[in-house]
Structure 1
């Protein structure tokens, strides 16, 4: 049993019952002894509704194409039995529901968006969750191509119950949220030059490369390579890395190792070439 269930079921499922008693004294005969008058009121019963919902993914980190299994657990801590209990869950647009993965099998016409009826293991009637019992819903999704960032899913449960006077009521739980982060490993490189044209032999052009980690995880041992076009010559000792002096003689045509980049980090390389006209 999970910690959630252990804590959720640690309660008493009896309704609140309250009654009053009245005591007084009366002398019926003159000079006689007082008599004790004691009466007890009727018992007033007050039921309570206390439910819990917990949604857990089997992965907190996932890649494109991975399957994520969600387990949604509903616990009835109330003093009454609940019926017609359904889990309502809208899946993220970054995922696709795996066909036939919903357990229990939805009733005809049911979907996750409209609500899927659940049932306690001890029951035979769909939607029944007696006091002190729990029920679960499971389903799987696939992470779509292009998904990035956090996959956020919110689930709620809808319930029905009758109080001690046999009046029917309905309600719903607070949402339970599950988050899975999509792991992406990607780099972006943008190149620019300080000139759009040259007119003289041996004229110098300064190139700037900006490398950015656009993924969600750290990328290590990054090497940047920039072949020098024909008609251009790398200018010795012209490489500036991340605006940090001194200049170096690292020719980008041979590859420049810039180490590691954390998500959203950038690294800048500048170097100069001369042209032959």
Structure 2
């Protein structure tokens, strides 16, 4: 295991400020001056820096599937924290998996009211000494029929004492994690350069625009455009994605366009002739 590197932006030591004053004194005229120096008391200012980070084990999920959340409280303070609880507000699109909360909640504790968390090797429940962390884990199931984003946020409720022994209670900034409910969808728009024909062998140019309107990648897309009787594919008239090279791929026999990422567009142009 690699050694954990210190974060230069964290400060687990209190600020200490003291002042000195120096001068010189000449008691009698002609004598060498004597130096004098005074030192003040030291003012100690504690640093209280507790940070919550929440993560999910997936960015996309389907209805009925599970999401595992991990919530970590890092105590980068110069003081020890106690009676620490992690509070998670579950999205209404999910349901908590029974008995999935780790650590086991204390009596009457819920995610909404807060789960007591403790640093490793600590005997006192809710104790997170300076420079250590504590973790909460739980799982939810995505409810059937839900769409859109699953938004989960967590905060920590902490207690600590200052240099004078006074007790304080506080809450951290929230940590938010978003999981998308997977939605696979394609849109096809077809246009033609004319709305009627009057002669045999008259040519019509068709344009297809295929777009991934979902939020997940769609793989191995095959486009098929069958022609009615009297309409025939014009050989070597297919243009794919505005490239200069024409091909002889007949859309009536299907054209494989590969994969499309969310919001990605693929264009196909081809021509037909008619028999009247």
The verdict on a shared fold, with TM-score over 0.5 as the criterion, is yes
Task: Report deviation, 1:269.
Answer: 4.1
SS in 2 for 1:235: strand
CA contact (8 A) 1:117 1:127 kept: yes
> Compared with structure 1, are the counterparts of its residues 27 and 219 closer, same or farther at alpha carbon in structure 2 (3 Å cutoff)?
closer
Q: Deviations over 1:84-108 (max 9, x none)?
A: 2222333445544333222123344
Q: Does 1:167 align with 2:159?
A: no
Alignment of 1:89-104 (within 5 A): 89-92=88-91, 95-104=94-103
CA contact (8 A) 1:159 1:170 kept: yes
> Compared with structure 1, are the counterparts of its residues 24 and 91 closer, same or farther at alpha carbon in structure 2 (3 Å cutoff)?
same
Which piece of structure 1 moves more, 71-80 or 143-152?
143-152
* In 1: Cα distance, 2:145 partner to 2:268 partner: 27
Which piece of structure 1 moves more, 38-47 or 105-114?
38-47
Q: Structure 1: which 5+ residue stretches go unaligned?
A: 29-33
SS in 1 for 2:6: helix
Task: Report deviation, 1:255.
Answer: 1.8
Task: Report deviation, 1:191.
Answer: 4.5
> Compared with structure 1, are the counterparts of its residues 267 and 150 closer, same or farther at alpha carbon in structure 2 (3 Å cutoff)?
farther
* TM-score normalised by length of structure 1: 0.68
- Which residue matches 1:235? 232
- Which residue matches 2:225? 226
* In 1: Cα distance, 2:258 partner to 2:24 partner: 94
- Which residue matches 1:82? 81
Which piece of structure 1 moves more, 96-105 or 36-45?
36-45
* In 2: Cα distance, 1:56 partner to 1:195 partner: 54
CA RMSD of superposed structures (Å) = 4.7
Q: Does 1:128 align with 2:127?
A: yes
- Which residue matches 1:31? none
* In 1: Cα distance, 2:68 partner to 2:83 partner: 24
- Which residue matches 1:57? 56
Alignment of 1:1-277 (within 5 A): 7=6, 13=12, 15-16=14-15, 44-59=43-58, 61-64=59-62, 65-92=64-91, 95-143=94-142, 153-178=152-177, 180=179, 185-191=184-190, 209-216=208-215, 218-229=217-228, 232-237=229-234, 240-242=238-240, 250-263=249-262, 264-272=264-272, 274=274
Q: Structure 2: which 5+ residue stretches go unaligned?
A: 28-32
* In 2: Cα distance, 1:183 partner to 1:22 partner: 68
Task: Report deviation, 1:244.
Answer: 6.5
Q: Aligned residue pairs: how many?
A: 267
* In 1: Cα distance, 2:10 partner to 2:209 partner: 60
Task: Report deviation, 1:136.
Answer: 0.8
Q: Deviations over 1:226-267 (max 9, x none)?
A: 3334xx222241755456678766543322333443432132
* In 1: Cα distance, 2:107 partner to 2:196 partner: 70
* In 1: Cα distance, 2:205 partner to 2:21 partner: 99
